[in-house]
Chains A and B, each alone.
Chain A
């Protein structure tokens, strides 16, 4: 007999799915904001070789990009308590996402900073601007403009990868899926719905980042007069 699909068995747990999706999106949002902030600081230190901070960021980047996200998460959740740092599932998940994304954004933003034409920095120096003034007023915006697509992709990658946070029982969307299919025994329907939800969320996040990039990062002021 053919398999009888029963999606209602999934939608009975609609609240749980939405909560899980909200958790995943919140993690992504915090990761994007804090991770990008880390990336800006790290990218500056690395691109401008500010010793010893650039070495610290260098070690951080190598450590994160050469190890699996799941191991980083397990280390934070199970490892830190051994040092006396008590941390909940959701705290560990958020921290892991921030730490992971921060390393990748450091590399991405560093590339953008290094693409600044030397002459623009010299022009700013000639105007008696200081190092940080030059960074924030002259270098940062064009650097972010150049790497915004790469940065957006990385944020989406991390959102999808955050599914492994379900492994430490953080109640994200994947956790909800695992829980629901263990109750209704409808693995196909449950994972199909969750797959569709991840797809929609990834698409939305990408779209939102795109719009943010156009409106805020690359934005130009309207002309008051024809050029």
Chain B
């Protein structure tokens, strides 16, 4: 039991760290186009060519895989532990909706990741779909991939709206991970709880506004 939850917590924390780096880089997209294109493409080329990032990328794939796998196993086992539901259950009076529905929320995020990887990872790294051109500096023009994707209002809405469940998931997930891994300092946990909310809000709003800004640029 402890091992399963620890795997979910550890992989989740790693993904939380990844999101910080990912969002920081994505803020480049908020800059004016002439600066943003060069900076963003330069940055993504550096990442693709770095051997360190290659290792980190595999850690990332593994984290997503084990987070989802053990999330499913734990959810399945938890449902088996409670085969009969209450006719009336006012769980909203003793806990948050988010904490009661992490599996469901997680499925939305997984859907997002699949679509997101198909849009970027598959095109840029696997070369599936329309070929990606080079910019004036000779770097792969990932900026163009992003820019053209966010000219489509449906993708803008998809990318923006799905950042709401992401925020919920991160808020509960971050503070819960600390407890799962055995951090039990009472005042410390109160701080962790606040940090989780702040972190989740920054991630959710930060990732959520980028498609809108690019669309209206």
**Do A and B interact with each other, yes or no?**
no
Question: Which residues in A have some Cβ–Cβ distance to B below 8 Å?
Answer: none
B residues bordering A, Cβ < 8 Å?
Answer: none
